Amino acid sequence: MYISEQEVRSVLTYEALIPAIRQALIDFSAGKVNQPPRMILRAGNAQDQDHRNGWFVVMPVVAGEFMGVKTVTWYPANDELGLHTHMAIVELLSRATGEPLAVMDGRLITEMRTAAVSAVAFSALAPIHFESPPRSIGILGSGVQARAHVAALKHVWPEMGEILIWSRTAGNADRLAAELGATAVSIERASAADVVLTATSAQTPVLRGKLLKSNALVLAVGATGASIREIDDDAMLSSFIVAESRSCVERESGDVLLSGAKVHADLGEILANPDGAQIPRHMRIISKSVGMAIEDLTAARLVWQTRQSHSDAG
């Protein structure tokens, strides 16, 4: 059974995905998920330092009643060709029998589960970090993740008011701002919001610590790779860092590895025991995610189960 992106879009919702991702992160931190490190290969379509050189990634996982594997490509230069920079396929299998249940397009799954993780992180961290609900978000980046994050965060952040968008390409920021009812601004203004989302394809830092509020919450989802980054040393070293997964972030995040910053907490542990979380109120918080196979499996399971229930009802 092949499930296209159009079919995924018709059945996968943030209302179902956000709580499912929350539980998946709790299970992961509790040791209930068998998820080896992802295999990352250079595509070799261009020289190593050429921005056109893509990445090919394989991500297997076993959890609950299912097994899955996602293959994903990241070609930063695809923007120049009018193509998606990220493309993926997810295979879902039965853990009991090994039977392949479905193969589905994974591009939208990757987009939505990434934004859902940030929504879960915000809903866990904001209430114990801010004295009153934050009002503004600054978004660095104007691609699919910028759009997806606004959609996901609205489910957990009803007080979201001012949306400020910066992009290296001013026209892209203008178009997204018009679409979302937001405002295209300078990087300085976007970086000074209560909450800052970094969702760029930057290879070197664009978010500078000197521009952040003293108690900003940063949701960092770009720069997945040990040799690339989007946040400078000042921001990394002056912040309390929460990892989607400590082991994954310490292995795969250039922002952490190249700055020498320390990961202070694991998101799944905070979700499981919020009363025990030592989240500072008067210090910057960076929630760093690099993406995990358990998140893809969780989304794929929802797609398959929802599709099956619709078929049974019909």
pTM of structure = 0.94
Would you say 90 and 111 are in contact if contact means Cβ atoms under 8 Å apart? no
Residue 283 has pLDDT above 90, yes or no: yes
Q: Are residues 191 and 274 in the same domain?
A: yes
Same domain, 125 and 258: yes
Average pLDDT of the chain to the nearest whole number = 94
Q: What is the pLDDT of residue 76?
A: 81
**Together in a domain, 133 and 227:** yes
Q: How many domains does the structure of the chain reveal?
A: 2
Sheet holding 183-184, edge to edge: 183-184, 162-166, 136-140, 195-198, 217-220, 284-288, 239-243, 263-266
Q: Would you say residue 142 has pLDDT above 70?
A: yes
Q: What is the mean pLDDT of residues 51-79?
A: 92
Q: Tell whether the model's pLDDT for residue 8 goes beyond 90.
A: yes
Same domain, residue pair 139 and 235: yes
On whether both 84 and 132 belong to a single domain, the answer is no
Same domain? For 95 and 220 the reply is: no
**What is the reported pLDDT for 46?**
81
Q: Which residues contact 21 (CB under 8 A, 6 or more apart)?
A: 113, 116, 117, 120, 295, 298, 299
35 and 98 in a common domain: yes
Q: What is the pLDDT of residue 314?
A: 59
Query: CA 168, CA 202: separation in Å to the nearest integer?
Result: 10
Stated as kind and residue range, the H or E segment containing 298 is helix 293-313
What is the span of the domain harbouring residue 61? Answer: 2-109+294-313
Q: Which residues pair with 184 in a beta bridge?
A: 165
Q: Which amino acid is at 271?
A: L
Same domain, 129 and 265: yes
pLDDT at 265: 93
Q: Please compute the mean of the pLDDT values over residues 112-128 and round it to a whole number.
A: 97
pLDDT confidence tier of residue 201, bands split at 50, 70 and 90: confident
- The answer on 42 and 150 residing in a single domain is no
Q: Are residues 247 and 215 in the same domain?
A: yes
Q: Clarify whether residues 140 and 264 are in a common domain.
A: yes
Q: How confident is the model at residue 224 (pLDDT cuts 50, 70, 90)?
A: confident
